[in-house]
A and B are shown apart, each in its own frame.
Chain A
Amino acid sequence: MASIVSVNSLSVAYRSGGQDVSVVHEVSLEVAKGRTLALVGESGSGKSTIAATLLGHLRHGSRITGGSVQVAGSDVFALPARELRRLRGNTVAMVGQNAGHALTPSMRIGRQIAEAGGTVPVVELLEQVRLPRPAELARRYPHELSGGQQQRVAIAMAIAARPDVLVLDEPTTGLDVVTQRSVLDLIAALRDELGLAAVLVSHDLGVVAHMADEVTVLRSGRVVEAAPTRQLFARPQDPYTRRLLASVPRLDDTGLALVGETGEREVRPRADVPDDAPVAVRAQDVTIDYGKSRTVHGVSFDVRRGEVLALVGESGSGKSTLAWTLAGLRPPSGGTLTHEAGDLAGPAHRRPLSLRRRVQPVFQNADTSLNPRRSVGDAVRRPLRFFGTAADRTEAAERARRLIADVRLDPALADRLPAQLSGGQRQRIGIARALAGEPDVLIADEITTALDVSVQADVLRLLDDLRRERDLACLFISHDLAVVRGIADRVVVLRHGVVVEEGPTEAVFAAPGHPYTRQLMAAALEPDPDAQPYVDDTLDWVDAADEDDLWTDQGDSHRVRRWRPLNAPVAEGVS
């Protein structure tokens, strides 16, 4: 079949400090009509740059240094301005990563879609992307929609003029799992319905396996491997591809996957937490309010020494709020929060120093968690001196170097500024800083979310090693169930600030009892094109818990909040 997109040994560079820096190097690829090609790679692989060239777009300061891009028979970068405008929208259309930023804030949605051309009425387009009450929605402004709705509007805009090629640049990154799944399903349905060819840019191998016919793996602007999806996932040829694939955590791992240099994968059994391990932190009926609205409604859990407890939930579930409260940054409005050494209900500066140092947070975004104007060594030394865990300056310097070595980094990095480190290295320094107070409780708030998948695997392994070595209690907050399955010993599933299910990781994953948990698991995407959904049924349900009968006990401390199917008011819902 003839290719509708063909990129021939394309090279792109941008000028920086008087020198050409190559971003894309001799990349070639073809997409046939009606097929989907995925561009996969970690940050800095040049995948988004390539995708944008299909629309004849280059970032400010970049230029083509070789090769060509042909779409529907015309050389994109040789087209006169008028022709290029016609190509955009009519032949190729793009859905960007963050619809919240991609929609013009000052224009109504209907007008923005209508502007994209084509003859299909706006209301019909909105219906086509399965948005409810399209006529009313068309009169809204972008900020009045949720993230998922915004992305659907962006898709409606892209298909308005009925293009032949759809370029999807990380179309679901930043969306919650359930929303991501439904947006991907929508894209797939529209693609088939309209016979579109698609180029999908993603870092997420689960998304790629689910969507693509062919995959091109990129690394530092070069093609590493290109193959049909099934073949690539079943028999990856290049060691980089193998390592990349092996680094992706799976929902059915029974422990943390350790990945070797050439991509061999070994699942390490979970650490044994003795039954009599002391409870490090106990939360009981904790409620937290933001102004008048309550974000956490009576949550209880224990974290024992040497144990990783995962708080799982989508955005708005209150999981990060709980982390902040535990760290002493936002006082709870009710319930009790206690450490074995004292009360944790007060803000950090009211806690005694000896207690404060024992509960330490690690942050999500390694880019902003270190002061850009201070050396990373200083970031680690400061808490050593502040908490008095190091007696004097020389000892602090010595201890800081040792801590940096403890997080598997070269102590010589201590003199660097954060900007001179990679994201993974910065996150390790963030962990070293938290360890400086010699804590026994570590709060890890989405600490791997912003990292590339191979780096994520390394950081998870470090965390697992550290809690074994130091007998740390770890509150691990994540939206990613596969990550949780690998690292956590016990899981607490939160929804709108309410615990819907909790129990040992194995038990919860073996028999998820709450429909919400099941829905999360069903939405998760495995890096395998033939993967069956982890669970298949998802029911409509309503909460059926009342004051004195909250839980359905499933044994072995696995319990599920009471619920009932939406359509069967009497029946009690237990899987």
Chain B
Amino acid sequence: MTTLDTPPLTVVAPGRAARAWRTLRSSRTALVGLAIVAVHVVIALLAPLLTSYDPIANDASHALLGPSWSHWAGTDQYGRDVLARVLYGGRYALGVSVTATVLTVGLGTVLGCAAALRGGWFDDVLGRVLDAVLSVPAILTLLVVVTALGTGPLVIVLAIAVVYVPQVVRVVRGAALAVVPADYVTAARARGEGTWAILRREILPNITDVVCVEFAMRASWVVLLISSLSFLGFGADPPTPDWGLMVAENRTAITVVPMASLAPIIALATLVVGLNLAADGLSKAWGVDRLREGS
């Protein structure tokens, strides 16, 4: 059944790619946002080439220095180069966030579509369970999971999936519900097509934009949540270069070496602004009203 999709795809694909590109070009907001995110990704990947300092090497003789030629953003209380830590810090933030977001949005999309299409008791039960999960504050759930299972990246990824899947399900379910009554879905039902085929052929292609926007927005929330967790001391373990952790470590010395706190804050804020701009621009360009769906 997969094979017969190939001819239409080759026909439509250029149109689809062109359409996506046209939309992107038409929305400066989205373009700027994606560019910011891309810069962050490149920096995180190339961090070892951009700085010669080791982000976790202590050097007591150079502690708490202001910005200078050898340390552009100064050093922290252990004498570690702040810039190096900021550059490397993106690795943890991006790595964990991207994995967590992919998992969350993927799982949420499947569940949301299934709920919209199946309806009935499945939809009801799923809604109740997800509401129950939502009713406990995300940060508390996360703290409990992390305490129970340790602070490894995998645990954090899973914990974030637990916390955010319900909201993704709600959004995707809302978007899918708008597609389900369309006549082309009815036509497929009248042909007697199976649930899975309807989902894949008729519904998913029509909610791709919602899912993309959801991805960008959810990623920004995940980045924020992970940094908060690190700030509270439940995320990345201390020597790891991580932005939230850096703020927590250097906050007390903020009057002495403001750059040690400001640099990770700027990095964090630009990444989240980038993600939000991308989500915003895409949703406007695609006409997806994400707030309407009650996220």
Contacts and interface: CB of A to CB of B under 8 A. Distances in A.
Contact of A329 (B189, B206, B208): B189
Contacts of B6: 393
B196 to A, nearest CB: 13
A328 B8 contact: no
A381 B3 CA distance: 13
A270 to B, nearest CB: 29
Contact of A393 (B7, B202, B205, B206): B7
Contacts of B182: 368-369, 371
A348 B189 contact: yes
A357 B190 CA distance: 9
A393 B183 contact: no
A433 interface: yes
A470 interface: no
A374 interface: yes
Contacts of B3: 393
Given A327-B190, A371-B206, 20 more contacts: A348-B189, A348-B192, A349-B192, A349-B194, A351-B192, A357-B191, A360-B190, A363-B183, A368-B184, A369-B183, A371-B182, A371-B184, A373-B12, A374-B201, A375-B8, A375-B12, A377-B8, A386-B191, A387-B191, A415-B11
Size bracket, chain A contacts: 35 or more
Contact of A378 (B12, B183, B192, B208): B12
Contacts of B205: 371, 373-374
A417 interface: yes
Interface string A239-272: 0000000000000000000000000000000000
Contacts of A569: none
B190 A381 contact: no
B184 A370 contact: yes
A566 interface: no
Interface of B: 3-4, 6-8, 11-12, 15-16, 182-184, 186-187, 189-194, 201-202, 205-206, 208
Contacts of B7: 381, 393, 397
A382 B201 contact: yes
Given A371-B202, A417-B15, A356 B184 contact: no
Contacts of A371: 182, 184, 201-202, 205-206
Give the interface SS of chain B, mostly helix, strand, loop or mixed: helix
Given A374-B12, A375-B12, A328 B184 contact: no
Interface of A: 327-329, 348-349, 351, 353, 356-357, 360-361, 363-365, 368-375, 377-379, 381-383, 385-387, 393, 396-397, 415, 417, 433, 437
Contacts of B194: 349
A365 B183 contact: yes
Nearest to B9: A378
A187 B238 CA distance: 79
24 contacts: A328-B192, A329-B189, A348-B190, A349-B189, A349-B192, A349-B193, A349-B194, A361-B190, A363-B187, A365-B183, A368-B182, A371-B182, A373-B206, A374-B201, A375-B15, A378-B11, A378-B12, A381-B4, A381-B8, A382-B201, A386-B191, A386-B193, A393-B6, A417-B12
Most buried by A among B16, B184, B208: B184
Nearest to B195: A349
Most buried by A among B6, B182, B206: B182
A433 B187 contact: yes
B10 to A, nearest CB: 10
Given A372-B206, A375-B12, A356 B4 contact: no
Contacts of A356: 191-192
Contacts of A374: 8, 12, 201, 205
Contacts of B183: 363-365, 368-369
A327 B183 CA distance: 13
Contacts of B193: 349, 386
Contact of A383 (B189, B191, B206): B191
Contacts of A349: 189, 192-194
A370 B202 CA distance: 10
Contacts of B190: 327-329, 348, 360-361
Nearest to B188: A382
Q: Rank and list the top 6 A-B pairs by shortest CB-CB distance, nearest first.
A: A378-B8, A369-B183, A373-B205, A349-B192, A363-B183, A348-B192
A120 B7 CA distance: 67
A393 B4 contact: yes
Nearest to A386: B191
A406 B88 CA distance: 64
Contacts of B187: 361, 363, 369, 433
A537 to B, nearest CB: 40
A417 B8 CA distance: 11
Given A369-B184, A385-B4, A393-B4, A375 B11 contact: yes
A449 B188 CA distance: 22
B24 to A, nearest CB: 15
Nearest to B19: A417
A549 B8 CA distance: 58
Nearest to B181: A368
A39 to B, nearest CB: 30
Contacts of A353: 192
Nearest to B193: A386
Contacts of B206: 371-373
A351 B193 CA distance: 11
